[in-house]
Amino acid sequence: MRLAGKTAVITGASTGIGRACALRFAREGARLVLADRQVAEAESLQGEIERAGGTCTVVEADVASRADNERMIDVCVEQYGSIDIPVTLAWGEDDKSFKIALGERMAADIPNAELVRIPDSYTFVSLDQPERLAALI
């Protein structure tokens, strides 16, 4: 179980690639926050994951909403203590909102850290991990 003890937030979790990521991450031991506008589908996935022994929470969220993104982060941190793996698969009018909100929150808690803009994406890395940063760019 390569992801045991890690927490992943997956936006767009209820279908397609998001669903596949959620199932795989759960099999690898990750605790999950399934964020999606399609709550019924996300709750169905939650049931499937929990029946298989996984741990997850569903949050109704629209990634274009800064308030929804803040709530998604709050739920994850309150329930699991941290966000180790942000997976952003949903998009909207302002699909960078979750990444930026997450980056701002993490920057307050992690010394010497930076939100890094990679072409067509954002990711958050500690500048104390140059090998990870080099792998991203």
What is the reported pLDDT for 92? 57
pTM higher than 0.85: no
What is the reported pLDDT for 77? 87
**pLDDT digits 0-9 by tens, 83-101:** 888 887 776 555 556 666 6
Q: Confidence class of residue 109 from pLDDT cuts 50, 70 and 90? A: low
How many angstroms separate the Cα of 53 from the Cα of each of 31, 47, 84? 11, 10, 20
What is the reported pLDDT for 115? 45
Name the residue with tokens 């302002």.
94
Domains of the chain and CATH, by start = 7-108 (3.40.50.720)
Q: Which amino acid belongs to residue 121? A: S
**pLDDT digits 0-9 by tens, 7-63:** 888 888 998 888 988 999 999 999 999 999 999 999 999 999 999 999 999 999 988
- CA 101/CA 113 separation, integer angstroms: 14
What is the reported pLDDT for 136? 42
